[in-house]
């Protein structure tokens, strides 16, 4: 699985004008399941996400995790993270998981974050979503399981 994490002071996701998920300080997470992924990959990525030390400590260093800060996570499905742009002008997405598997692993990732003790808000898998966020830093990290 792949995830793009953005440290935020606020983030929300709307679908058709309705806010589905909203958080204060924490992480906005775009997540993509790849065709070879399984539930273990989702759990591993969730553990790494929850424990990644990218929040400031008292000295201003990135030394605290989402768990340490009590921050929340806004988890958004984003199959385009599987884009293959090595050739041509149109990205290919053949390495992304099929929609059924993608949905299952997206939900497994969000559930695994909750098990870690993270407050989780989500968008809607496969929907056309409007994501609004305020980057903190900015800090943007790419993770793969």
The residues carrying an active-site annotation are 78-80
Q: 47-55: which pairs have CB atoms within 8 A and are 24 or more residues apart? A: 47/112, 47/116, 48/143, 48/145, 49/3, 49/5, 49/73, 49/113, 49/118, 49/143, 50/113, 50/116, 50/117, 50/118, 51/116, 52/5, 52/141, 52/143, 54/5, 54/7, 54/139, 54/141, 55/7
Token representation of residue 66: 């989402």
């Amino acid at each position: 699985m792949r995830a793009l994490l953005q440290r935020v002071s606020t983030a929300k996701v709307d679908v058709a004008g309705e806010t589905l998920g909203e958080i204060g300080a924490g992480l906005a997470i775009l997540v993509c399941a790849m065709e070879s992924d399984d539930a273990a990959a989702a759990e591993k990525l969730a553990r790494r996400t929850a424990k990644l030390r990218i929040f400031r400590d008292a000295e201003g260093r990135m030394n605290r995790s989402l768990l340490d800060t009590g921050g929340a996570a806004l988890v958004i499905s984003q199959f385009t993270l599987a884009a293959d742009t090595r050739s041509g002008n149109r990205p290919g997405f053949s390495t992304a998981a099929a929609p059924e598997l993608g949905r299952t692993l997206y939900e497994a990732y969000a559930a695994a974050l909750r098990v870690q003790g993270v407050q989780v808000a989500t968008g809607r898998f496969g929907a056309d979503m409007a994501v609004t966020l305020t980057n903190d830093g900015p800090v943007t990290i790419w993770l793969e399981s």
